[in-house]
Each structure stands twice: as C-alpha cells, then as structure tokens.
Amino acid sequence: MSEEMVLSIYRGDANGGQEEEYRVPLETGMVVLDALHYVQAEAAPDLAVRWNCKAAHCGSCSAEVNGRPRLLCKTRLDQYVGQVVHIRPMHAFPIIKDLVTDVSSNYRVAKQIPAFQPRTPAPFTMYQRDVDRVQEFHRCIECFLCQDTCHVLRNHGGTDQYFGPRMMAKVAEWEMHPMDVADRRQFLKDVAGLPMCNVTRCCVDVCPEHIVITDNAIIPLKERVADQYWDPIRALFRRFHRPAEGAVPGAGSDVSSRA
C-alpha cells in the first residue's frame, strides 16, 4: 500500500478563506500538481488551480508550497514525506479563487517599459557573443515566482513601488541588446522603482529557469543608473566625448557604451 500524504490546501477567494486538509496516496514520480488533480478528481471538483503544460514551460502553476514559491508541476511530492504539505496561492498577488491569483499587474507595468528601439531596421547581423548576454533573459517563462518572493512587491506596496525582478530582466533584455538605442536609465530610476531593490537575491533563489536576475540584470542596471546619476567623473567625460553615430555591430563601426 502506498504512503498517504496530507495536503493542506488554501480554499477561498478575495473575501477570505482557510486551509483545508486532503489525503492523497503518494505515487512514484508524483508532483504537487498531480496531487491537486487527484484532489480535484476525488474530493473537491471545485478546487481552482491554474495549469497548462505540466512541463515547467508555461509558468502557469505558480504557488507557494510550504512557504516557498514554486512551480507546482516541478515540485516532487516525495520530498515532503513526513510533513504536511501546505499549498497556498502566491502572496504578492490578489486571490481570484483558491490557488489562482490575479497577475495582471505584471502585464500592466510591462506595457510601461520603453520598447526595443533598433538602430537599423531588422534583420540584424549580430555576433553570438553579443546576443548571449540577453538570451539568458529569454529563458523567462513569466511564472512570476520572482515577483512573488520579492519583498518589495510582497510587503511594501507591490508594483506601484517597484516593477519587480521579472520586469528588470525584461528591461535588461532590451537595454543590453547590441542593436537597441533607447536609454531607459531615467525610467528605471524614476518610474520602475529600481532603487527600491536592495539586492537580497531572493528572485534568483526561486527562478525555475535559473536566470541569475540579480547579478546579470538588476545589478548591471543599477550600475548603468549610477553611471548616469552618481558618477561625476563619467558626467565630465560625457561632456567631452560623444559616441559615434550609426554604428552597427560587425559593420566596421566603433560603438561606444552609452555610459
């Protein structure tokens, strides 16, 4: 006879709710999402859980398992043997029902980010080494676990204060693109709330795609903002030096940093 796991699942909506316990037989290779499907099939057909690919690619099934933001489809159940498995919706977002939250605030702030602005019309000729850096951020599946674990969004005013780590990765993806000419530093400082981040790296800890958001996106962006607003020597340098116009990667032109 297989072992039985106890799941304590949050049931409720925007008006409130509480955890309710369900018992699920543990099977080999079972993930938490499988256990929730078992609960839906056997005990609570009205249990709301958002999911799609069940392969850690769509980023739909984000929730908190025993206090840690996780993808439900990528979290094996057998690691919790001997424990009650507490499953709750993401704390940083408003609850719609049970484990389903309203993540639309992320899409709202994403629209405010100054879009990719190429120096020449596509198609581009770029070298792989220049594209590698931004391709790390392309791995993002928008599960918003980083947004959920970010203490600014979680405890200090949400996306009104700081757009969050996911959005910083999105800004970095464009800001560091070799063909992009837009300058987003003032936007980062005054609108996106980059100074609200105190680089505690929780976003890196929870990212299922292992994107090193803090070190490769947020800190480089903070350094670029510091170039513009906190570095008098660079400010002096900028007064006497202007980068070459119309430079194109690989086309024999000299491209200088906007810093």
Binders in 104-123 for other proteins, by CB under 8 A: none
Site stretch for other proteins (CB under 8 A), options 21-29, 40-48, 106-114, 193-201 = 193-201
The residue within the footprint of other proteins, chosen from 26, 43, 110, 226 (CB under 8 A), is 226
Q: How far is the CB of 243 from other proteins (least distance, A)?
A: 10
Taking the C-alpha atoms of residue 11 and residue 48, their distance in angstroms, rounded to an integer, is 9
Q: How far is the CB of 206 from other proteins (least distance, A)?
A: 7
- Residues of span 172-191 touching other proteins by CB under 8 A: 175-178, 180
Taking the C-alpha atoms of residue 8 and residue 172, their distance in angstroms, rounded to an integer, is 39
Token pair recorded at residue 96:
């719609």
Token pair recorded at residue 44:
């609570």
- Residues of span 17-46 touching other proteins by CB under 8 A: none
- Residues of span 138-177 touching other proteins by CB under 8 A: 148-149, 151-152, 154-156, 162, 175-177
Taking the C-alpha atoms of residue 155 and residue 157, their distance in angstroms, rounded to an integer, is 6
- Residues of span 55-94 touching other proteins by CB under 8 A: 56, 64, 66-69, 71, 74-76, 78-83, 91
Site stretch for other proteins (CB under 8 A), options 21-29, 43-51, 102-110, 204-212 = 204-212
Instruction: Specify the residue for token string 């925007």.
Output: 14
Taking the C-alpha atoms of residue 38 and residue 34, their distance in angstroms, rounded to an integer, is 6
Question: Nearer to other proteins by C-beta: 41 or 157?
Answer: 157
Question: Nearer to other proteins by C-beta: 210 or 242?
Answer: 210
Q: Give the pairing type, strands 4-13 and 84-88.
A: parallel
Judge contact between 114 and 187, C-beta under 8 A: yes
Is residue 202 within the footprint of other proteins (CB under 8 A)? yes
Taking the C-alpha atoms of residue 203 and residue 184, their distance in angstroms, rounded to an integer, is 22
Helix (H, G, I), strand (E, B) or coil at 6: strand
